[in-house]
Amino acid sequence: MIIASTNRPLRASFKRGFTLLEMLVTVSVMTMIIYVLYALFDTTQSALRKNAAQVDVNEGGRAAMEMIVRELSQMEVSGYPPVMDQGSGRVLSGSKSFHSRPTPGTQPLLLAYQSDALTAEATASDLAQGFRTNVLQDFTFTSRGELGFDITSFRVVNVENGIGMLGRYGSAGSLHTTDPRATMVNKSLAFNLHFDAAVAQPSDSGLFQPITDGVIHFRITAFDQYGRELLATAAWPDPLGLNLERLNSQGQALFIPFPNRPVDGTLVQEPAYQQHAWFYGALPAYFDVEMAVIEPDVLAQVRQMAPAFQANFLGQKINKVTLFRQRIPIRQTR
């Protein structure tokens, strides 16, 4: 009797399996592929997040600028007759139509463009090394409404360490009334009271409609019909243009306006090269508006830091700040 051996098939089946070395090589290759795919996925997700943040800033900034452009381009002089200024004794060409100033109670952020330590004094040598002093201004103006003239104000509110939210405040400046005693009231002075009340609204009053957050720079500049900036420290020879009163911070005249014409505006030079501006019965030909906004993710990080470290951190993240700028022509200058 012949007995068949089964060792050969068993040995053959053993030869068809993977060795330990082959398994290690396979696992290593698969691990490398997974790592490369994860790195690619993470890079793509990071780029998408950055693009989404940039889109949010661009959309919010553009929407805010479009609102400002739309409303500011419709600005008109308030239309009430010339009035005597009780303080200076000069005749103003009309009631108040525009006012801009450095926003009271705010300290603009001194932003470093390089990662060097920023001294608390913010000396001239700091500025010479590439630091930018942001500006926080607010402005108020008149435009025609349904019942007369409306008063609108744009301001950066809820400011902490130079970072805040752009807000809008609006009120009706109409003087329509059925009271017969109204004929005895000087309409220019009465409208100025409405205008001054809008300017005096506190930033934390809750009456400002929020527009966009993370604003570190907000500035408006006036230009004449020749494209020259209207400054308190420079008087352009223009007999047919605006008759402007130019003063220093102590109220002393820097340049004398034409004495035979009503005063169209008052420019007051303030420290740090800023100025107050009032315009009455006439307006500049253009306004230039600037606004700088931080990306939302960087804004969240900044607000978690101590104030002493925020400026230096933003200096390293300067590419996360978007600057919007728009020049706006004024249709009705008189």
User: How far is the C-alpha of 19 from the C-alpha of 38, rounded, in Å?
Assistant: 29
Alpha-carbon torsion (168, 173, 174, 180), positive or negative = positive
CB atoms within 10 A of CB 179: 8
For the chain, the distance separating the N- and C-terminal CA atoms, rounded to the nearest angstrom, is: 127
pLDDT of 118: 47
Give me the residues of the chain with pLDDT under 50, please. 1, 115-118, 177-184
User: How far is the C-alpha of 188 from the C-alpha of 193, rounded, in Å?
Assistant: 9
Provide the 8-state DSSP code for 311: H
Among candidate residues 246, 248, 252, 251, the one with its CA nearest the CA of residue 229: 246
User: How far is the C-alpha of 103 from the C-alpha of 236, rounded, in Å?
Assistant: 27
Beta bridge partners of 157: 165
pLDDT of 46: 67
pLDDT of 69: 92
pLDDT of 130: 57
pLDDT of 115: 44
pLDDT of 137: 93
Among candidate residues 318, 311, 320, the one with its CA nearest the CA of residue 160: 311
8 A C-beta contact, residue 163 and residue 302 = yes
Which residues neighbour 134 within 8 Å (Cβ) at sequence distance 6 or greater?
Answer: 108, 109, 110, 111, 162, 216, 217, 292
- 185-203 pLDDT, tens digit per residue, is 577 888 888 889 889 998 8
The pTM assigned to this predicted structure is 0.76
Among candidate residues 214, 219, 77, the one with its CA nearest the CA of residue 157: 214
User: How far is the C-alpha of 328 from the C-alpha of 334, rounded, in Å?
Assistant: 16
pLDDT of 156: 94
